[in-house]
Structure 1
Amino acid sequence: MLRFSNFLFPESRDPDRDAEVIADCVAEAKLCDELGVEVLWLAEHHFDGNCAYVDPVTFAAAVLAATRHIKVGFAVAQVSLHHPMRLAEQMSLLDNLGRGRVIVGLGRGTAYNVYEYQGYGIPHEEALERYEEAEGIMLKAWTSPDGFTHEGRHWSLKVPRLRPASFTKPHPYVIRAASSEEGALHLARRGLPFLMNVQSNEVTARRLALYRAAMAGAGFDAAHVARCMDESWVWRNVVVAETDTEAERIGIPAFEAMQEHRQELRERIYAEQGIIMRKETAPPARVNPDHALIAGSPATVARCMAEIEATGVGGVICSFRLGPMPAEVAARSIRLFMEKVAPRFAAPRASQAAD
């Protein structure tokens, strides 16, 4: 069956309202736990107000303490901004606090916001290589009961043993982000599930077909391919209201304001410093409401989810609170989704076969 989760990615434009928005986030986490949402995904962004709680590791501890059943995932921890041993320790502690409710989503860090690297004193050109080295260190830390040494380009380590040991064995559940087709195919060849960023349904279907084919071509059997598809997630922005007209009235302005705010500091830095990490020659799917926003009545949203289900992916990461949308509006949308949309997908679906 298609599984559903919430991407808690709250904007705070006014620093004086940060505490209020963070409190709203805890309330939203509790609501999702109450309604049976499977995973609450947390983001990591710095300095711009695009993610009010900023530090998902610290915030995850608060969510785990405030909830009983919901899993807490990272979408993603910006690994290139962290010391890998510190991050491994923190994830292991969270895994113990949640008794296995943690999903360690890893990624290199933003591909757009150069100021996040500047603020941490890390050259953005090193992001990918830092991520790759750090991921290996974290996996060794979790699975080396006698300790280990590491000599790499960015870290030289002699670790006696990681404490606390992870609750989940052999290590906390790990999933990687893939924002590009090549990134998805790289993970396919490793036989790993992945998190996909916002794309149109057409791009999603094509990419997942290539992903399945690449995994099969790398020698993984049909059962493994099906398992990885079931453990992979795609992201969509979602607004549910009683009617299509009401959902569009609420959702489209909030979505457009969110995209404008997310670009604001990036463009200011470019104007001031002449530095840009990735030049977009055409508007990407994530900023096009026709591709990146599902807004409608429960029946309309259910039809859209059925189209996603047809791609064979296991889960949808739904981002409900968009931009300046008030918390109570997002809460109504979440409740409508879980009460009137999600139950339509509760019956087991047929297994996916590898292409």
Structure 2
Amino acid sequence: MRFSVFLNARTMSADADKQLIIDLERHALLAGELGFDAIFLPDHHFNGYMPVASDSYMFAAYLAAKLPAMHFGFSVTSVPLHHPVRFVERINILDHLTKGKLLVGIGSGTTPEEMIGFGVNYKDAGRIAEENLQAAEALWTKTVDDAPVELDGFHKGRVLQRIAPAPYGQKHARLMPVAMKESSTTRAAVNGWPAFIPAFTPPKIGGTEPLSHVKKYFSSYHEQLLAAGHAAETVADALSWTTHSYQCVHLAPTDEQAHREVMEILTAYQEAIEREAAFNAKAEADDANKKTDRTNSALTEEWMATWCLYGSPETVIRKLRDYEEVGIGNILCGTVTGPLTAQRLAYADQTLRLLAEQVLPAFK
């Protein structure tokens, strides 16, 4: 089983952005020293959720120069917010810089406030995402001698020659759909790509039985992956990166200490969420941008059961054995969840060290 670090911190004011970038770099370098498999970054805008995630590709390129052995991933790129040409170009460049160690999570986005900043209506996000992905595949396969690729959806353009640089390998970098919709599951399986395996089923986001959802989605993906007729090494690679995500992972020497500290972390996280919710309410002022689902408070049992992994190393190992048995290949650990104060960073580093020293060896 692989273990990856998800950089998902927040700032509460503009004057905190500078220190957050410094602290995230140091935390990522520590993850590299301790033997984690990958660094994953989100794609967010405007609201203080990972300010550096306004261009995660740029930050990943910077980190890749310092961590040449590390894989880099995105959880996830909001495809409707990216022009297909820029999407393809930047993925190709970063795939070269990481020597093929790139995993591009793809989705339609979750936040109306971010959508309207790019002129996208929330209700149109799924359609635009599909348009953009189809256009991206056409751009990746285009040669100089082919007819122009015409972009005539939400994003416009006419590409006469080809995308430069060309992909790093024979094919473009691996994309990672979220295996929730049947079409996304099929896209991952048919292409031999890994997938994110959800721990809930909409419209209810959360619940106290995340493993039941993980089993359901993983089984559907796994069956289609095997049925697609890929080479054994392609299947093995896809499964080794198929990912179960935790928004908040926190370890301490004892369960009691871990619970006390994680409640402190989640209290600050919920305060940040409520601040962001006020701006999202403004974004939902019209029917085209109304959300149809809501996430419970992070301080509820359902949120913690779905999104948190915490406890002593022994407890965390026991909890993860169930996911290992299902066949999950990669555990994505949100280690810096919430506002990244000095104390929060100390908790994050504590978690990295306990994971590396006691949990990772149990699964390698």
Please give the TM-score of this superposition, normalised by the length of structure 1: 0.86
**The 10-residue stretch of structure 1 (285-294 or 247-256) with the greater mean CA deviation from structure 2:** 285-294
**For the Cα contact (< 8 Å) 1:75–1:177, is it kept in 2?**
no
**The 10-residue stretch of structure 1 (206-215 or 165-174) with the greater mean CA deviation from structure 2:** 206-215
What code does the residue aligned with 1:165 have? Answer: A
What code does the residue aligned with 1:10 have? Answer: A
Equivalent residue number for residue 331 of structure 1 = 349
**For the Cα contact (< 8 Å) 1:5–1:39, is it kept in 2?**
yes
What code does the residue aligned with 1:85 have? Answer: V
Equivalent residue number for residue 350 of structure 1 = none
Equivalent residue number for residue 261 of structure 2 = 250
Please state how far the C-alpha of 1:89 moved relative to its aligned partner.
1.1
Equivalent residue number for residue 242 of structure 2 = 232
**For the Cα contact (< 8 Å) 1:212–1:225, is it kept in 2?**
no
Q: What number of residue pairs does the alignment pair up?
A: 341
The runs of 5 or more residues in structure 2 that have no matched partner are 201-209
Distance in 2 between the 1:119 and 1:297 partners? 42
Equivalent residue number for residue 119 of structure 1 = 117
Q: Matches of residues 312-323 of structure 1 in structure 2 within 5 Å?
A: 312-323=327-338
Q: Deviations over 1:55-87 (max 9, x none)?
A: 211111111122121111111111111111012
Question: Aligned in 2, Cα 1:334/1:277: closer, same or farther, shift over 3 Å?
Answer: farther
Same amino acid, percent of matched pairs:
28
Distance in 1 between the 2:322 and 2:284 partners? 43
**For the Cα contact (< 8 Å) 2:112–2:284, is it kept in 1?**
no
Equivalent residue number for residue 352 of structure 1 = none
Please state how far the C-alpha of 1:203 moved relative to its aligned partner.
1.4
Q: Please tell me whether residue 23 in structure 1 is matched to residue 38 in structure 2.
A: no
Equivalent residue number for residue 294 of structure 1 = 309
Equivalent residue number for residue 278 of structure 1 = 291
SS of the counterpart of 1:117? helix
**Root-mean-square deviation (Å):** 2.7
Distance in 2 between the 1:123 and 1:71 partners? 33
Q: Matches of residues 114-153 of structure 1 in structure 2 within 5 Å?
A: 114-146=112-144, 148-153=148-153
**For the Cα contact (< 8 Å) 1:181–1:207, is it kept in 2?**
no
SS of the counterpart of 2:333? strand
What code does the residue aligned with 1:91 have? Answer: I
Question: Aligned in 2, Cα 1:282/1:176: closer, same or farther, shift over 3 Å?
Answer: closer
Question: Aligned in 2, Cα 1:344/1:162: closer, same or farther, shift over 3 Å?
Answer: same
Equivalent residue number for residue 206 of structure 1 = 216
Please state how far the C-alpha of 1:254 moved relative to its aligned partner.
1.3
Question: Aligned in 2, Cα 1:170/1:210: closer, same or farther, shift over 3 Å?
Answer: closer
Distance in 2 between the 1:255 and 1:59 partners? 26
Q: Please tell me whether residue 169 in structure 1 is matched to residue 170 in structure 2.
A: yes
The runs of 5 or more residues in structure 1 that have no matched partner are 347-355
Question: Aligned in 2, Cα 1:290/1:45: closer, same or farther, shift over 3 Å?
Answer: same
What code does the residue aligned with 1:24 have? Answer: D
Distance in 2 between the 1:127 and 1:9 partners? 22
